[in-house]
Each structure stands twice: as C-alpha cells, then as structure tokens.
C-alpha cells in the first residue's frame, strides 16, 4: 500500500498551492516576510505575475498581509505564510 499525502483542511488551499510559482512563494513566506516586488526579483517573475499569485494565496488563506507601508508614493504590502498547519499542504509526504 502506498502512503497517502496528508489532506489539506480546505480544498481551495490545495488548489492554490497546486501551482509551482504559488508553492514557491508560500514556501518562501514560511521563513520570512516579503513583498510581491521582492518575490518577483528573487523568482525571476514580473511584478504583475508575483502580485497575481500572491493575491490567489491571500484569497485562499495560505498567506496573509503582515503590514502595509508607504514606499515611493505608493503603499507596499508585506506578506507572510498564514498558519503553520498549512505547511503539510505544500510538501509531499515522505
């Protein structure tokens, strides 16, 4: 018998984390906070791509806004992974 991957408590979170970019963003935000602009630079994405995938993760409850701060005439959002219990959703079982 094969071992089953632990089920995510919410299917929308599992769907959100089913995309490679969103999974990489989520894994990054488990260890530190970052803005979509920082994520875009680090992951070789456009700002629009990073912002889109970040919004999907926020909507699904995987990440949350930690802070909104002014920067160069605009507001910059800083995000972190939400509850630690969602970590099992992003990693395959051993």
The 10s digit of each residue's pLDDT in 35-49 is 999 999 999 999 999
Question: How far from the centroid of its chain's Cα atoms is residue 25's Cα?
Answer: 4
User: Is the pLDDT confidence value at 5 over 50?
Assistant: no
Token digits of residue 90: 């992003």
Mean pLDDT of 40-59: 97
DSSP reduced 3-state for 14:
helix
Mean pLDDT of 30-38: 96
Does the global pTM surpass 0.75? yes
β-pairing verdict for 63-71 and 74-81: antiparallel
Return d(Cα 86, Cα 91) in angstroms, integer: 10
Confidence of residue 78 (pLDDT cuts 50, 70, 90): very high
Element (H, E) at 80: strand 74-81
Return d(Cα 89, Cα 85) in angstroms, integer: 8
């Amino acid at each position: 018998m094969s071992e089953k991957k632990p089920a995510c408590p919410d299917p929308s979170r599992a769907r959100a984390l089913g995309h490679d970019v969103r999974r990489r963003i989520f894994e990054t935000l488990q260890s530190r906070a970052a803005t979509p602009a920082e994520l875009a630079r680090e992951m070789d994405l456009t700002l629009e791509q990073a912002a889109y995938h970040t919004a999907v993760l926020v909507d699904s409850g995987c990440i949350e806004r930690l802070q909104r701060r002014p920067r160069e005439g605009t507001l910059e959002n800083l995000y972190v992974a939400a509850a630690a219990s969602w970590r099992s959703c992003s990693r395959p079982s051993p």
